[in-house]
């Protein structure tokens, strides 16, 4: 299953160390253009760290991350990576709480990011249309002039997704987008995600298996910083090793119960 089509993102032998502790060890990940990929695994498997590596927050001690088939982004700064077209949504909503919802979207909007450009930037009607369109897509049309800090948890998550979309990245990295959401909010986020995945390549780290099952897409399982299994949800669920790392404890419990 190697190298078919154009890989937009290719991580090779990525290793990350924190003071001697190897959070990721020789991980490989290949993302095709337009693909929606789920990254799952037990706690501490190194999923979030992988996203950190791709978006430049963490420098790997070894390995390379190639974007668009040519640029090695492990040497680039976060803002350069973001400008190349990789957007990241963090687990905890991180929006600019003292600015309005509209202003949040405005600065996230795809535009020249230099001081000169922002100094003389004027809002034209096209921009305004895009902003309003985005606002209604994330369901916050009536709250454009709200202070972002005053939104609910779910709304903040959507605002952040909206900000990412305004960036118009080619690759989106989402870290547990439905964590802490109500069922209704989760459903709505699912719809948003379907919408997003239509036009872009997306990597989603997720714990909620129910949520993952809603998407017929490839799943990558990580365990202890390594690639464990890659394939469709069915393949992954049928895999013994995956069952062991995920359900191992439960099996042992069963075992101990039966012997007791």
Partner 1 sequence: MQLTRITGNRLWILGAYLVAAAALFSAPLVFSDFRLNLLAKFLAFAIVALGLDLIWGYTGILSLGHGIFFGLGAYAMAMYLKLEASGGKLPDFMGWSGLKELPLFWMPFENFGAAVALGILIPALLALGLGYFTFRNRIRGVYFTILTQALVIITTTLLVGQQAFTGGTNGVTGYSTLLGYSLASPETKRVLYWVTVAVLIGIFILCRYLTGSRFGKVLRAIRDGENRVRFIGYNPAVYQMVIFTVSAAIAGIAGMLFVLHVGIISPSMLGIVPSIEMVLWVAIGGRGTLIGAALGAILMNWAKSEFSTAYPEGWLFFMGAMFVIAVVFLPKGVAGLFQWRGKDRKKWLPAWARGSGGKLRTGEKEGSVPQG
Partner 2 sequence: MELFILQLFNGLSISSILLLVALGLAITFGLMKVINMAHGELIMIGAYATYLTQNLFLDYMPASMFNWYFVLAIPVSFAIAFAIGLVLEMGLIRFLYGRPLDSLLATWGVGLVLQQLARTIFGAPNVAVKSPAWLDGGMQIFGGTLLPYKRLFIIALVIACLVAMYVYIYRSLEGRRMRAVMQNREMAACLGVSTRRVDAMTFAIGSGIAGIAGCALTLLGPIGPSLGTYYIVDAFMVVVLGGVGKLVGTVLGATGIGMFNTLFEYWTNASLGKVLVFVCIVAFLQWKPSGLVAMRTRSLD
The residues binding partner 1 (CB under 8 A) are 55, 57, 77-79, 82-83, 87-88, 90, 94-99, 103, 106-108, 113-115, 118-121, 163, 167
Among 5, 13, 18, 199, binds partner 2 (CB under 8 A): 18
Query: Which among partner 1, partner 2, none contacts residue 19 (Cβ within 5 to 8 A by kind)?
Result: partner 2
Angle between helical axes of 153-166 and 101-108 (0-180°, round to 10) = 30
Query: Which among partner 1, partner 2, none contacts residue 79 (Cβ within 5 to 8 A by kind)?
Result: partner 1
Q: Rounded distance, CA 103 to CA 166, Å?
A: 12
26: left (phi over 0), alpha (psi -120 to 50) or beta: left
* Residue 54 beta carbon to partner 2: minimum distance, rounded to whole angstroms: 16
Sequence-distant (≥ 6) Cβ neighbours of residue 49 within 8 angstroms: 16, 23, 24, 58, 225
For partner 1, which is the closer residue by CB, 23 or 95? 95
**φ, ψ of residue 175 in degrees (nearest 5):** -105, 110
**φ, ψ of residue 194 in degrees (nearest 5):** -55, -45
Half-sphere exposure of 24 (CA within 13 A, CB side): 30
Query: Which among partner 1, partner 2, none contacts residue 146 (Cβ within 5 to 8 A by kind)?
Result: none
For partner 1, which is the closer residue by CB, 39 or 55? 55
Site for partner 2 in 90-149 (CB under 8 A): 90, 94
For partner 1, which is the closer residue by CB, 90 or 190? 90
Kindly write out the interface string for residues 28-67 of this chain, putting x where it contacts partner 2 by CB under 8 A and - elsewhere: -----------------------------x----------
For partner 1, which is the closer residue by CB, 101 or 227? 101
Q: What is the CA radius of gyration of the chain?
A: 20
Report DSSP state, residue 43: T
- Give the β-pairing of 171-175 and 7-18: unpaired
For partner 1, which is the closer residue by CB, 71 or 243? 71
Binding site for partner 2 (CB under 8 A): 18-19, 57, 90, 94
């Amino acid at each position: 299953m190697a190298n078919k089509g154009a890989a937009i993102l290719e991580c090779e032998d990525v290793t990350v160390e924190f003071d001697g502790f190897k959070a990721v060890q020789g991980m490989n990940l290949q993302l095709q253009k337009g693909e929606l990929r789920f990254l799952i695994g037990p706690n501490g498997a190194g999923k979030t760290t992988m996203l950190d590596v791709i978006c430049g927050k963490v420098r790997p001690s070894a390995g390379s991350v190639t974007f668009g088939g040519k640029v090695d982004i492990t040497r680039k700064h976060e803002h350069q990576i973001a400008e190349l077209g990789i957007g990241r949504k963090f687990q905890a909503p991180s929006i600019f709480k003292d600015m309005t919802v509209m202003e949040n979207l405005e600065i996230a909007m795809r535009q020249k990011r230099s001081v000169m450009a922002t100094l003389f930037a004027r809002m034209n009607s096209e921009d305004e249309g895009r902003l309003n369109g985005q606002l209604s897509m994330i369901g916050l049309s009536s709250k454009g002039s709200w202070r972002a800090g005053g939104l609910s948890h779910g709304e903040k998550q959507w605002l952040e997704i909206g900000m990412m979309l305004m960036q118009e990245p080619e690759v989106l990295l989402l870290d547990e987008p439905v964590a802490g959401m109500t069922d209704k909010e989760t459903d709505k986020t699912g719809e948003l995600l379907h919408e997003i995945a239509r036009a872009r390549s997306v990597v989603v780290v997720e714990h909620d298996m129910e949520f993952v099952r809603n998407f017929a897409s490839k799943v990558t399982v990580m365990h202890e910083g390594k690639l464990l299994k890659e394939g469709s949800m069915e393949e992954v669920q049928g895999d013994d090793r995956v069952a062991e790392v995920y359900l191992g404890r439960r099996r042992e419990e069963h075992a101990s119960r039966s012997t007791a």
